[in-house]
Amino acid sequence: MPAMLHQFLSNNRDELTNRCRIKVGQRSGRSATEQQLKEGIPLFLDQLIRTLEIEQTSTPLDSRRISGPAGGGTALSEVSVSAAKHGKDLLHLGLSVDQVVHDYGDLCQSITDLAVERDAPFQVDEFRTLNRCLDNAISDAVTEFGYQRDAINADANAVESNKRMGFFAHELRNHLGTASMAFAAVKAGNLSLSGATGAILERSLQALDKLIASSIEDIRLLGKTNIISASFSLADFIAEIYAVASLSIGTNGCIFRAPQVDPDLAINGTRDLLMAAVANLLQNAFKFSQPHTEVFLTAYAAGDRIIIDVKDHCGGLSPGMAASMFLPFSQSGENRTGIGLGLTIAKQSVNANSGTLTVENLPAIGCIFKISLPRHTIPT
């Protein structure tokens, strides 16, 4: 009977790690720190092995918590977290995005080569799992690499913007100073405004008007819908929601969980609106979840987005329900308390903050309401 892929990987873990290290060293322009060599590929191999082992059990879908679902998408998993860190580390080494892809390609090639050398055939489903794990890891690493690169560019743009603001303030002060001195001279000498000093005052006021008009035009070109809002800690936001929501779980004995959130993550928007959106989603989850099941709130980064998930155990959505559940006064199920506006308000609040609110159906289990918002950094 042929060996299982997870057994093959476990037995040859050190050999595969060494082969990847050699491939990295031979690639032009690629360097790696000892920490990366120690944690990167070995960590991914361990996650792949655990994924394959779980998929041989009676609950194969549990492996998604480690390696994510097929087809990628925004989902929190162990692979997504470590792959995102890998992409970030490569950027800080000054490498390009193709190096991110090559790192995971090295592992795939090493596994294939060693399997051929050892004449170790594997099942088709095992290779599909391998491809899924690699696809998700590459996707998350590239996404984080792109976000971090864009953040660096944004910082550079912010420096340039501050420089322009400094020039503007400097010119503004110069023209205002000239106008003030001209006005003081006119007032002190009881001079006519039609004279030379009055002309200086007039030209200074005209220059101020032109400078301000130019500034307003620059702002207008940035977009009429730009809204200045505040950035705030995602971890503090979730902690506050958890504290409030814990008081309103209800009487059906639901278990409410909210894991810790990365303290470096932040969102930008109207805090009260976003708080209301998540609160409505949690109220909906508590209302429709089956007795003594779990309601799960989590928040994490996915590239340039912040994802807030509310997962319930309502038993899943009936056909067509997902298309209408965000409509005003839409109610379904036996529990008709309320007036059917909670999900509508939640969606409008999220949309008002440049985000999206969608729902994913988990047949016979429940559903996941997913808020996606622009990612920001913690204000200093």
**Residue 224: predicted pLDDT:** 45
Q: Closest by alpha carbon to 378, among 242, 225, 277, 261?
A: 261
Taking residues 151-163, what's their average pLDDT? 68
Q: What angle do CA 46, 49, 55 make, to 5 degrees?
A: 140
User: Which residues lie closer than 8 Å to 248 by C-beta, 6 or more apart?
Assistant: 282, 283, 286
**Residue 73: predicted pLDDT:** 58
Report the percent of the chain where pLDDT is more than 90: 10
pLDDT tier at 358 (50, 70, 90 boundaries)?
A: very high
Neighbour-count burial for 299-309, b at 16+ CB within 10 Å, e otherwise:
bbbbbebbbbb
pLDDT for residue 339 is more than 60: no
Using an 8 Å Cβ cutoff, are 313 and 366 in contact?
A: yes
Taking residues 103-129, what's their average pLDDT? 80
**Residue 226: predicted pLDDT:** 46
Q: For residue 231, what is the enclosing H or E element?
A: strand 230-233
Q: Closest by alpha carbon to 238, among 256, 255, 261, 268?
A: 261
Higher pLDDT, 261 or 55: 261
pLDDT tens digits, 9-37: 888 888 888 887 777 767 665 555 555 55
pLDDT for residue 357 is more than 90: yes
pLDDT tier at 300 (50, 70, 90 boundaries)?
A: very high
Compute, in degrees rounded to 10, the torsion defined by CA atoms 81, 87, 89, 94: -170
